[in-house]
Amino acid sequence: MQKMTNISSVQEYLLSEKRQGKKIGFVPTMGFLHEGHLTLAEAARKENDIVVMSIFVNPLQFGPNEDFESYPRNPERDAALAASAGVDILFFPEADEMYSGSSIKMHVTERTDVLCGSRRTGHFDGVVTVVSKLFNIIGPDNAYFGLKDAQQVAVIEGLVHDLNFPVNIVRVPTVREEDGLAKSSRNVYLSETERAEAPVLYSSLKDAESLIEEGKSIPQTIISHIQNRINSETSGTVDYIEIYSFPELEDIHSLQGEFIIALAVKFQKARLIDNIIIKKSQEEKQNV
């Protein structure tokens, strides 16, 4: 595995490889790698000739009261894990390398006024800025994103469509612990008690899925069920529980088609998100 920090060096190397017909798979991350990131890399390894992973804690997507400075970092461990997952190029730029100028600003106008986006003003502007730069630097054929942050996937798919990036976005299912908790870099902030409670988030989503399979069709009925479980079985505070069409992230009044049930719960030192995406045909019988 090669570690590169310079944009021009990465571009020169990958352009040469693409001229030889090599297919490039790309996994963008903010580091402190866990099994979820490695699953993305392993998926890329199966479908591409060269796998590139970036590690860059992007300051543009952190708000003034968010955890940029304290965001966990361990570059030596990350490099070892990336190599073990079959990464060929680890792109590890500094902030002044990525943001040497600021004459252009990007602003997302759809899919961001709900879920985490409604609570993190400017967050997805920072996401599309860095992802656009990374796509232009790497020039991938395929880029791999985890569905744990499904809103990010929706926004990136919109970015690729609107700006005609020649890259295929590959959705990768959320990687979970044995008890169902979605793997996240922020799980390290949970206390022992909170870690024992946290699997209720996914369990409540699966309960909701079962209710829908039984014919429940009113979103608020499903939301109330999830909220009751989280309130009664955890010490966390519900930030949101919301249901929207996917990937458009628009309001729906009946649970039809493809939709997402997403939630965020605040614990003492960690805010956890999770979701499930469900497809339901209009022919299925409904009741409330």
Check whether 122 is labelled as a binding-site residue: no
Q: Kindly state the tokens that stand for 261.
A: 């049930």
Strand partners for 3: 90
H or E element at residue 211? helix 200-213
Check whether 236 is labelled as a binding-site residue: no
∠ CA 201-207-212, nearest 5°, is 130
Check whether 175 is labelled as a binding-site residue: yes
Q: Kindly state the tokens that stand for 136.
A: 């232009």
Check whether 32 is labelled as a binding-site residue: yes
H or E element at residue 170? strand 168-172
Catalytic (active site) residue 37: yes
Check whether 126 is labelled as a binding-site residue: no
Check whether 23 is labelled as a binding-site residue: no
Residue from 57, 53, 58, 56 nearest 90 by CA: 53
Give how far Cα 204 sits from Cα of 66, 99, 133, 275, Å. 27, 41, 38, 10
Check whether 148 is labelled as a binding-site residue: yes
Check whether 188 is labelled as a binding-site residue: no
Q: Which residues make Cβ contacts (< 8 Å) with residue 49, sequence separation at least 6?
A: 17, 22, 23, 24
Please give the backbone phi and psi of residue 121, each rounded to the nearest 5 degrees, phi first.
Answer: -55, 125
Check whether 35 is labelled as a binding-site residue: yes
Check whether 4 is labelled as a binding-site residue: no
Q: Pick the catalytic residue: 37, 123, 161, 225?
A: 37
Q: Which residues are annotated as a binding site?
A: 30-37, 61, 146-149, 152, 175, 183-186
Q: Which residues are annotated as a binding site for beta-alanine?
A: 61
Catalytic positions are 37
Q: Which residues are annotated as a binding site for ATP?
A: 30-37, 146-149, 175, 183-186
Q: Which residues are annotated as a binding site for (R)-pantoate?
A: 61, 152
